[in-house]
Structure 1
Amino acid sequence: MNILRAALCLSLSLSAAAASAQSPTECPSLPASSGLQWQQQAQADFLLCKATTGDGREVLSLLLSARNPDVPLTRPLRQEKGVFAGESLYWYQPDLGGQEPPGYANRRITVVKFDKNRYAQISLYAGDAQELGSLQTLTQGMNLNPTAVAAGR
C-alpha cells in the first residue's frame, strides 16, 4: 500500500512540475509607446496579466493557462476578426445577461488555444472605439515565446 501511495505522489508531483514548466512565468512585454503597465498574478496553473493606464484604469486582462477557461462565446455576440499568437480568432461582446452598462459597446472578450494545452482568455475594456482598435492591434502583436518574453525585460 505504501508503494502505491508513493507512486501516486510521485506521479502527481511530476504532473504538477510538467504543467508549471509549460506555464509562462511573466507577462508578455508591452511596447513603451502604449503607456500601459502590467499587474501580474502568477499561480501554479495560470498567469493573470492586467494592463493598466497611467491613471490606474484597467484596459486589458490576459489569462494564460493550461486549462480551457470554457467561456461561452455565442455567435450573436461575435464582432471583429483578429489574431493572437498566430491563431485566428473572433472578438465577442461579453455576455452580461442582457445588461449593457456604460462602455459595453467597447468591451471585448475572446479565448484562443494557441499551443498544445495552452489557452489565452483576453478581455478588453476600451474607453472608446479608437482605443478598442489600438488594444486589438496591441494583442495581435504580443509575443508569447518565453525567450522573447525574457528578453523583453
Structure 2
Amino acid sequence: MKIVIAVGLTLFSTVAWAQTAPACPTLPADAGLTWEQRVDATFITCKALTDDGRQVFNLMLTARDPKISLERRLRQEESTFSGEEMYWYQPNLGGQETLPQMASRRIAVVEYEDDRYAQVWINAASPEELASLISLARQLDMNNIGAQLSAGN
C-alpha cells in the first residue's frame, strides 16, 4: 500500500509540475504553429511546425553556453528575444556563397536569463515568412521557461 501511495504522489507531483512549468514558451494563438518538444535534464528543444508538418522555427534552451561563433559579416536583422537585444545571422556555410534557399534562414544565440541560453533557428521559405517568424520570436516570453535545466557538469 505504501508503494502505491508513493507512486501516486510521485505521479501527482509530476503532473502538477508539468502544468506549472511548461517546457516551451507559449505560441501566439494566431501563429498557426504547434510545438514538438523534447525535454532533457540539460536541454529543451522546441520545434515549431506548420499545419503541413514543415519545421520553420527551432529553439534549444540550455544552461550551458553553446559557444557558437556567429560571424559579424553574416549579421542581418537587429531584434529582441525575451527582452534581450540581439542580432539574427545567416547560417555559416563554411565559406561558401549563400545559396538562394538559405537567404531566408537565420540563427541566433541569446542569453535570456543568468546562465540560460537560447539557440534559435528560423527556416523560412520566403522573406515574408522570415519577417513573420522574427516577429514571432520577439513575442516569446521566456520567463520561467527552462528553470529546471542543469548545466550538466
TM-score (norm 2): 0.77
Give, in whole Å, the separation in 1 of the partners of 2:135 and 2:102. Answer: 19
What does residue 140 of structure 1 align with? 138
Letter in 2 for 1:47: I
Higher relative contact order (CA 8 A, sep 6+): 2
Are 2:107 and 1:72 equivalent residues in the alignment?
A: no
- In the alignment, is residue 41 of structure 1 matched against residue 45 of structure 2? no
The within-5 A match list for 1:1-153 is: 25-97=22-94, 98=96, 100-146=98-144
Separation of aligned partners in 2, 1:101 and 1:80:
18
User: What amino acid sits opposite 1:119 in the alignment?
Assistant: Y
Q: CA deviation at 1:65?
A: 0.6
Listed as ranges, the gaps of 5+ residues in structure 2 are: 1-20, 146-153
After superposition, the C-alpha distances for 1:55-108 in whole angstroms (9 at most, x for unaligned) are 110000001110111111001100010000111001000101115345200000
| Counterpart AA for 1:93 | Q
Structure 1: tracts of 5 or more residues without a match: 1-23, 148-153
TM-score, with length taken from structure 1: 0.77
Greater per-residue helix proportion = 1
Runs of 4+ residues over 6 Å off in structure 1? none
> Residue type of the partner of 1:117?
D
Quick one: distance in 2 between partners of 1:74 and 1:133? 21
Letter in 1 for 2:61: L
CA drift at 1:31: 1.3
Q: Matches of 2:68 and 2:22 in 1, distance apart? A: 23
Cα distance in structure 1, aligned partners of 2:43 and 2:70: 21
1:80 and 1:100 map into 2 onto residues whose CA distance is 16
- Tell me the CA shift for residue 146 of structure 1: 2.6
Is the contact made by 1:25 and 1:47 (CA closer than 8 Å) also made in structure 2?
no
**What percentage of aligned pairs have identical amino acids?**
47
Cα offset, 1:113, TM superposition: 0.7
